[in-house]
Amino acid sequence: MASGGANNNGGEFSFASSPKTTGNRAGAGRNGLPKIQTQDNGKKLSRQSSAAARAEDLCYDDSATPVKAQTLDELHSLQKKRSTPSTPITAGTTPAGAAANQGAFFTAMSEEDRQRQQLQSISASLASLTRETGPKVVKGDPARSSTPKVAQVEHYTPSISVTDSSMKFTHVLYNLSPAELYEQAIKYEKGSFITSTGALATLSGAKTGRSPRDKRVVRDDTTEDDLWWGKGSPNIEMDEHTFMVNRERAVDYLNSLDKVFVNDQFLNWDPEHRIKVRIVSARAYHSLFMHNMCIRATPEELESFGTPDFTIYNAGQFPCNRYTHYMTSSTSIDLNLGRREMVILGTQYAGEMKKGLFGVMHYLMPLRGILSLHSGCNMGKDGDVALFFGLSGTGKTTLSTDHNRYLIGDDEHCWSDNGVSNIEGGCYAKCIDLSAEKEPDIFNAIKFGTVLENVVFDEHTREVDYTDKSVTENTRAAYPIEYIPNAKLPCVGPHPKNVILLACDAFGVLPPVSKLSLAQTMYHFISGYTALVAGTEDGIKEPQATFSACFGAAFIMMHPTRYAAMLAEKMQKHGATGWLVNTGWSGGSYGSGSRIKLSYTRKIINAIHSGELLEANYSKTEIFGLEIPTAIEGVPSEILQPANTWSDKKAYNETLLKLGGLFKKNFEVFANHKIGKDGKLTVQILAAGPVF
């Protein structure tokens, strides 16, 4: 919208309109034109005509008041009114630390000063560290304004000669609304469309999933001792210098653009442990994605946002230099925990930002004594909280979404002394084969504001075909958590009562449910087991065991045993019970047995929530030593004991021994690692594994 300077009455214009009028002179109509005479002829006048008008022999005039604009641009400027924060920065809204330094008295900051301070912060984020300067930044879309309407940002004196890029303005599109981002995406980003339900369909380019082999973490004095390095670790090291080379490349690319999108948002719904994040990106798609996935700040919170705790530079449309040390492709996702920065080059897949920030929380939160968890979380009407851990295909999203319980979150959480809290402000759901019958909440959440990644739709009706894998099987929807009807807002809850570990056991030897001791919970938490069925293209039908430490090895930063020790401490302190629930096969392995019915699994989960299983009678299995309930209401008793469901007992015992061996082999990498202060927990956890 056009601006008239500092004194523009809140950003709205009023244009004078003074048409010459002639009053009600006899024989003259409006603007001096001859008055039109009408005759009643015995007929009733229209309802809009008044008795007074008939009496004065005046014609009915349905013309509207002229608009207060002289041009179409002025008319369009009137269409949108300015929205500004309603609360000035005062002593009440300034952070406590700053208030202590500045004294008890604060004067309200003018809008112009607030804008200048905000732009200085953004310019500092985009600063080239070699040139010691930030770009000249100005708010607004360059397509809608020809000259900056705000004061220029002060810069450091450049250490080298002035360049062309340092002379240009970079327009900042700051915390745009979904509607504004829709406009930007549809107008400027090829492949962006509005679907029949109102969602924004977009493409992530050549990459339709994460690139874990291209992820790098700076190994320095900050991370040398705290992070997990070496065999089995997801952390591939890089040095500080290489990070700075990639950072410079990303910043130079972003500064070369006419405009960049900047999101200032939060992570963690617990206000005591909230993290401020800034995302600088080149695409409206990325900005809307993070608008949905992070916690959205109110206008009042943005007033005192200040310097972010962590910054993402998403230059994904621009490749990294493959001749740079540590680079193995044109893609690089680089994390510098010392500088609290992340650089993305060579991939436009938005999930890199989400999971990159999750990795940051896996580092920052444990340093505060807070456990970060890759889990779903819901709460009953009586305040009983349950955590759901599980890899892809185990039913984590399905089982944590329960119409009879409140959803705290579907993927990332923290467990602190205050209870549990969702890290994110949205959900990132798989869309392949999505239907209203199977997942009504997710299906109905795909509406205006939702980002749909890489889906296929009808070119005329724009109806999405969720079964179509033409672009990728990894189709996704990102939407605010409040789009789920039973979401609990704010997304926080008391300490968990139950910790549920989900496994889709395609070997068919794990029971549908078993109660775990604390040591067993730690063992299976560190193992992070599920089984996948191999592709049938080459005729292989044997299930394949998959292990992912802490049910999210790709995202953890520290050694898995550190998170396990924290989980054990919190479960013991708050009296939580651990459960292992198999959502996979029964009566045989994949190919001979059958999948455990979802209705049975739901009854098992309900029995856990209600406390029914705490009062049940139990028997113990061989090898894994799991405690199995003898009866659960609504579930056939014969399926509770896996051995009873196999007709070939020899095959059952051989498969059980095979799976036990796979568990032991996987755990070898953790066997020599000290868990807890005295290491006693290590011995207990090892004893909780399979015993032959």
Q: How far apart are CA 484 and CA 442, in angstroms?
A: 7
Query: Which one of 114, 171, 210, 215 is the catalytic residue?
Result: 210
Which amino acid belongs to residue 611? G
Annotated catalytic residue 210: yes
Annotated catalytic residue 396: yes
Query: Which one of 216, 259, 396, 562 is the catalytic residue?
Result: 396
Query: Which one of 83, 392, 470, 630 is the catalytic residue?
Result: 392
Query: Which one of 397, 400, 521, 655 is the catalytic residue?
Result: 397
The reply to whether omega before 490 is within 30° of 0 (cis) is yes
Annotated catalytic residue 411: yes
Query: Which one of 264, 411, 441, 505 is the catalytic residue?
Result: 411
Annotated catalytic residue 362: no
How many CA atoms, within 13 angstroms, populate the side-chain half-sphere of residue 540?
Answer: 8
Q: Give the number of other CB atoms < 10 A from CB of residue 638.
A: 10
Annotated catalytic residue 620: no
Query: For the chain, what is the total number of helices (H) and then of strands (E)?
Result: 18, 32
Q: What is the dihedral of CA 581, 586, 588, 592, to 10 degrees?
A: -120
- Map residue 253 onto helix, strand or coil: helix
Annotated catalytic residue 139: no
Annotated catalytic residue 40: no
Cα angle, residue 74 at apex, residues 70 and 75 outer, rounded to 5°: 90
Q: Which two tokens stand for residue 347?
A: 């991939």
Residue 600 DSSP label? H
Which amino acid belongs to residue 431? C
Q: Residue 631's closest CA among 602, 598, 594, 604?
A: 604
Residue corresponding to tokens 């493959």: 322
Annotated catalytic residue 476: yes
Query: Which one of 136, 283, 476, 570 is the catalytic residue?
Result: 476
Determine how β-strand 376-379 pairs with β-strand 385-389.
Answer: antiparallel
Residue ranges in 280-350 assigned as alpha helix (H):
284-293, 299-303
Query: Which one of 136, 273, 286, 355 is the catalytic residue?
Result: 355
Q: How far apart are CA 614 and CA 634, in angstroms?
A: 17
Q: What is the CA radius of gyration of the chain?
A: 31
Alpha carbon 639 to chain centroid distance?
38
Query: Which one of 216, 362, 374, 413 is the catalytic residue?
Result: 374
Burial of 104 (0-12, 13-18, 19+ CB in 10 A): exposed
287 close to 314: Cβ distance less than 8 angstroms: no
Residues near 460 by beta carbon (within 8 Å), at least 6 away in sequence: none
- b/e map 220-246, b = 16+ CB within 10 Å: beebeeebbeeeebbbebbeeebbbbb
Q: Which residues are catalytic?
A: 210, 355, 374, 392, 396-397, 411, 476
